[in-house]
């Protein structure tokens, strides 16, 4: 037990650190007006760390909280994905596992899909695989017949290198890489049990998205889509760091160009109805499940199933 000072020797004074904080950030001038103080050094010293300089802190906090919320099935799926550390992701340690946001998302997406689609022995087509984390997650958890990745040439080369590094030789042999200019010649007359698109159809031209939906309509049995429900113009998120021209390009792509408040759950849910309708591949398809795709407020996921064919 700590020895308690008697009344005569008790002291109540600011440490040298807080003396400096008080002089620099909590002086009379800075606290004279309440306007905006919660977005200033005043509050960054009292409660909220500076959002401009603490991005990694917030990312790790998000990952930590999300890891703790996973269901048993999702956690088991995550831990079966080996070599997640390749590429040095920003991660936290949870239950002895190194966990990063990309693979947390993959575990949640896989849980959503696997509840509704039999993936064992399935033929899977992924449009726009990025570096390949979704393929890595699914192949690590299910014995597929094959996994076909369609993408732009440079991204395709990245996913090829990454998947070769993280999969076993037997697993990697099941992956086929198809550049976008070879889609018609390579995929003609083939059928897939599941097609996946995550976070890229919103960045394509509307014409390209419709072309992919036509391909899915003709050649796939299920379609999983996880994309933004709409566009947003909240400059406080990134100060439009890539420039206004890049913002204009982003606003013009995809099927859903309505600008909404992506941090208003009612606005997101209302726009989600348009989202579900927009991504129906064809008249013979039905949406069998849809919901918010954690953790980003503006992402929605939906699974469609072809009926009667």
pLDDT at 302: 98
Which two tokens mark 280?
Answer: 């129906």
144-148: list long-range contacts, CB under 8 Å, 24+ apart. 144/119, 144/120, 144/174, 145/121, 145/174, 146/174, 146/175, 146/176, 147/123, 147/174, 147/175, 147/176, 148/123, 148/124, 148/175, 148/176, 148/178, 148/187, 148/192
pLDDT at 194: 98
What distance in Å separates the CA atoms of residue 117 and residue 48, rounded to the nearest whole number? 43
Which two tokens mark 81?
Answer: 């994905």
What distance in Å separates the CA atoms of residue 109 and residue 142, rounded to the nearest whole number? 14
pLDDT at 246: 75
Residue with tokens 């950030």: 25
Low-confidence ranges of the chain (pLDDT < 70): 1-2, 241, 309
Cβ density class 11-36: b for 16+ within 10 Å, e for less: eeeeeeeeeebeeebeeeeeeeeeee
Query: 186, 184, 196, 185: which is closest to 220 by C-alpha?
Result: 196
User: Which positions ≥6 away from 269 have C-beta within 8 Å?
Assistant: 292
Q: Which domains does the chain have, with CATH numbers?
A: 38-115 (no CATH), 116-306 (3.40.50.150)
pLDDT at 1: 64
Kind of pairing between the strands at 146-151 and 175-179: parallel
Residues 226-237 pLDDT 10s: 999 999 887 777
What distance in Å separates the CA atoms of residue 274 and residue 234, rounded to the nearest whole number? 21
pLDDT at 15: 79
Which pTM was predicted? 0.89
Determine how many CB atoms are found less than 10 A away from the CB of residue 94: 17
User: Which positions ≥6 away from 85 have C-beta within 8 Å?
Assistant: 91, 98
């Amino acid at each position: 037990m700590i020895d308690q000072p008697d009344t005569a020797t008790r002291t109540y004074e600011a440490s040298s650190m807080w003396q400096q904080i008080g002089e620099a950030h909590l002086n009379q001038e800075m606290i004279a007006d309440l306007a905006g103080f919660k977005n200033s050094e005043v509050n960054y010293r009292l409660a909220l760390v500076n959002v401009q300089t603490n991005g990694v802190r917030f990312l790790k906090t998000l990952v930590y909280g999300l890891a703790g919320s996973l269901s048993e099935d999702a956690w088991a799926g995550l831990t079966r994905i080996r070599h997640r550390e390749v590429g040095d992701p920003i991660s936290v340690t949870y239950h002895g596992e190194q966990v990063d946001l990309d693979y947390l998302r993959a575990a949640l997406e896989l849980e959503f899909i696997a509840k509704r689609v039999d993936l064992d022995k399935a033929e899977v087509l992924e449009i726009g695989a990025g570096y390949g984390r979704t393929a890595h997650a699914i192949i690590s958890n299910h014995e597929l017949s094959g996994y076909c990745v369609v993408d732009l040439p440079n991204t395709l080369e990245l996913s090829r290198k990454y998947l070769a590094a993280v999969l076993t030789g037997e697993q990697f042999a099941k992956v086929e890489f198809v550049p976008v200019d070879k889609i018609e010649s390579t995929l003609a007359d083939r059928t897939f049990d599941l097609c996946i698109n995550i976070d890229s159809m919103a960045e394509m031209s509307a014409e390209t998205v419709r072309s992919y939906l036509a391909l899915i309509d003709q050649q796939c049995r299920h379609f999983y889509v996880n994309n933004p429900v709409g566009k947003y113009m909240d400059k406080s998120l990134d100060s439009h760091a890539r420039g206004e021209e890049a913002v204009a390009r982003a606003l013009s792509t995809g099927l859903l160009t309505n600008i909404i408040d992506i941090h208003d759950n009612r606005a997101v849910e209302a726009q989600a109805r348009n989202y579900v309708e927009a991504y129906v591949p064809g008249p013979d398809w039905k949406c069998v499940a849809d919901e918010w795709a954690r953790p980003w407020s503006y992402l929605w996921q939906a699974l469609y199933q072809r009926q009667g064919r």
